[in-house]
Chains A and B, each alone.
Chain A
Amino acid sequence: MSDGSQAAADNSAAAAVGPILDVDGVTLQYKTKEHLITATYRVGFKVYPADRFVLLGPSGCGKSTLLKGVAGYLKPVEGNMRLKGVDIKEPGPDRVMVFQEFDQLLPWKTVKQNITFALMNGGRCKTQSEADDIAMEYIKKVKLDRFENTFPHMLSGGMKQRVAIARGMAMEPDVLLMDEPFAALDALTRLQMQEELLQLWEDTHFTVLFVTHSIEEALIVGSRILVLSPHPGQVKAELNAHHLNHANVGQPEFAALQQKIHNMLFADRILEDELVHEIVEAET
């Protein structure tokens, strides 16, 4: 496969359907108690409908910050972010976020209530019975029927994340934003969740923007991967991975791409180590 043919395919697809999310030259900064940190510097990418778009990079590359920017929690100091051509100004139910933390489920609501709560307040449903039906449909999709009246603290980590995904999908957002949703799970559960996410995607081809620091997870889950370099986050490459999933793990093609990304990320590893060293020294 040549890069030329890929680019051509990319461009023909781009001509047929416009991007759903357009991030253009975005610089994001946030404040800690002592520093003003530039998380990303002039990052740009386009997400098309049905993309499983992955933001991949080591810690400090601003991928989570970028996702928070798209969600509307953070305003860029430079550049702009448009969803369906409209500037992103504040958080809204058209971009639902699935977090890594388990406490994203409201502990005072049952599994079903967590979903209906989102549907009613997010303005997708007018009546409770309509919300109930949709909630049950998505609870079944993530295989949690029987648990709909359970409170979140009774569920395992993997089940909690499934509820969060069901809640996000039930909203049928333009883009589902996932911030390392499987990072806090054990390896076996993570594998299972990745497979289930792909199965769910097969059903409706929803658009996902997925953040991870695992190259393997990016290749399995993602259809297109944006590789970011750290301190501050800048675009290193945009790669295709739509032809890879669990079945390809360990195969030469998978391993080659994995190695390629690995080399990209760790080419400036020494530099990064020095930087971390400097920051640690500055803070102590």
Chain B
Amino acid sequence: MSNTPEIVVRSEFEADSIGNAGTADVARKLSFFERLSDMDSVRKFSILLVLMVAWEMYTRLSGVSELMLPKFSDTAVALFNSLVYDDLLVMIKNSLSILVTGYAIGLVIATLLTTAAIMTRFGSDALSTLTAMLNPLPAIALLPLALLWFGLGSASVVFTLLHSVIWPVALNAHTGFMSVSDTQRMVGRNYGLRGVSYVVKLLIPAAFPSILMGLKVGWAYAWRTLIAAELVFGGAIADTSGTQSGGLGWFVFSNQMELQIPAVFAGLFTVILVGVFVESIIFTNIESRTVRRWGMQS
């Protein structure tokens, strides 16, 4: 007796007509709660809420010194007061204006480098070598040198920001251009695209996911570098730039010197809030309107 199963031959049939599926609607609208729990922002905000409550409870119940860890409620009040009565808003503006300056100049230089890298083999080699060499160097480490070259002032900070913007942006853009598929390149040339129009109408959109990624990383690096620079040298920069207030990093540093610990936390929160605003509101919006809409997200 063999264990190999034999085919069981059964009678054939064809369905006369297919009635309505009796089980449920073919497409059912999701309930309010289902849609709510699908929203990223709602889920993430609830995590924040849990953290806030845990913080408040811990500081109230454990009796930890207010100088070490102030209550969440105190921090919130300090943040409100700094925004309304103190000049925290001006400091945010100062920080952002230096950041935007550095970012914009960085983008111009990155564009030039990428163009050179695409056009010539030397440019490509130069870019990859420079990136490999300079990318591991934290931009803030250049600040002492920058102060030596450009003196105390925002020029030094802008210089360090350039370093944190150029390499990620140029590297990602270059990678993006290199990985545009041969088929898409051939399609572009087939429909008569040449030179500048080939770059603008085909290469840039095709490489856009990578370019956007570079812009994001560059921004994130620049923001961290800026705060660090202000934290260490903020006082000096604030004094010489003519404004009394300096930037966000200086706000944190000076409040720590004055033992205004809730204000220190408030300053750190502001740093986070501005960072989150740009990263998850501005960049996420650009993403959902472009690469995600096009199904190009890598």
Stretch at the interface among A13-21, A97-105, A257-265, A266-274: A97-105
Taking the nearest CB of chain B, how far is it from the CB of A106, in angstroms?
7
Complex partner residue of B187 from A95, A106, A151, A154, CB under 8 angstroms: A106
CB within 8 A of A106: which of B184, B186, B189, B192? B184
B183: Cβ under 8 A from any A Cβ? yes
Asked whether, in the complex, the Cβ of A108 is within 8 Å of the Cβ of B296, the reply is yes
Chain B residues with CB below 8 A from A99, complex form: 183, 186-187
Of A91, A97, A101, A151, the residue contacting B294 (CB under 8 A) is A151
Q: A93-B192, A121-B197 are in contact. Are A104 and B293 (CB under 8 A)?
A: no
Interface flag for B43 (CB, 8 Å): no
Residues in B whose Cβ lies below 8 Å from that of A92? 190, 192
Shortest Cβ distance from B180 into chain A, in angstroms?
10
Q: Does B290 contact A (CB under 8 A)?
A: yes
In chain A, what residue has the closest Cβ to B205? A108
Residues of B within 8 A of A107 (CB): 294-296
Q: Across the two chains, which residue of chain A brings its CB closest to B198?
A: A121
Complex contacts, A108 vs chain B, CB 8 Å: 205-206, 208, 290, 294, 296
CB B182 to nearest CB in A, in angstroms, measures 9
What is the interface size of chain A, counting residues whose CB is below 8 A from a CB of the partner?
A: 26
CB distance from B59 to the nearest CB of A (A): 49
Q: Is there a chain A Cβ closer than 8 Å to B244's Cβ?
A: no
Residue from the list B190, B193, B206, B290 in contact with A96, Cβ < 8 A: B190
Q: How far is the CA of A90 from the CA of B206 in the complex (A)?
A: 22
Please give, as numbers and ranges, the residues of chain B lying within 8 Å of A117 by CB-CB distance: 191, 201
B81 on the A face (CB < 8 A):
no
Nearest residue, chain B, Cβ from A107: B294
CA distance A229 to B293 in the complex (A): 45
Does B181 count as interface, using CB distance less than 8 angstroms?
yes
A152 to B296, CA, bound (A): 10
In the complex, the answer to whether A153 meets B191 with C-beta atoms within 8 Å is no
Q: Kindly list chain A residues whose C-beta atoms are within 8 Å of the C-beta of B295.
A: 107, 151-154
From 231 to 269 in chain A, residues with beta carbon under 8 angstroms from any chain B beta carbon are none
Residues of B within 8 A of A154 (CB): 295
Which A residues, 194 to 247, have Cβ-Cβ distances below 8 Å to chain B?
none
Task: For the complex, give the distance between the alpha carbons of A99 and B205 in Å.
Answer: 20
Chain B contact residue count (CB 8 A cutoff): 21
A85 in contact (CB, < 8 A): no
Chain A residues with Cβ below 8 Å from B184 are 103-104, 106
Chain B residues near A118: list those with CB within 8 A: 191
- A 105-145 to B, binary, CB cutoff 8 A, 1 in contact else 0: 01110000000011001110000000000000000000000
B183 and A101 within 8 A (CB): yes
Contact present for B192 and A101 (CB under 8 Å): no
Distance of B169 from chain A, by nearest CB (Å): 20
Nearest CB on B from A164, distance (A): 9
Which one of B202, B206, B293, B295 has the greatest number of beta carbons of chain A within 10 Å?
Answer: B295
Residue A71 CB within 8 A of the other chain: yes
Q: Which residue of A lies closest to B185 (CB)?
A: A73
Contacts of B193 in A (CB 8 A): 121
Residues of A within 8 A of B201 (CB): 117, 121
Task: List 17 contacting pairs A-B, 8 Å CB cutoff, sorted by A.
Answer: A97-B186, A103-B184, A104-B187, A106-B184, A106-B206, A107-B294, A108-B208, A108-B290, A108-B296, A117-B201, A121-B192, A121-B193, A121-B201, A123-B192, A151-B293, A151-B294, A153-B294
7 extra interface residue pairs, beta carbon distance < 8 Å, beyond A153-B294, A154-B295, A171-B191: A91-B190, A92-B192, A93-B192, A96-B190, A99-B183, A103-B181, A121-B192
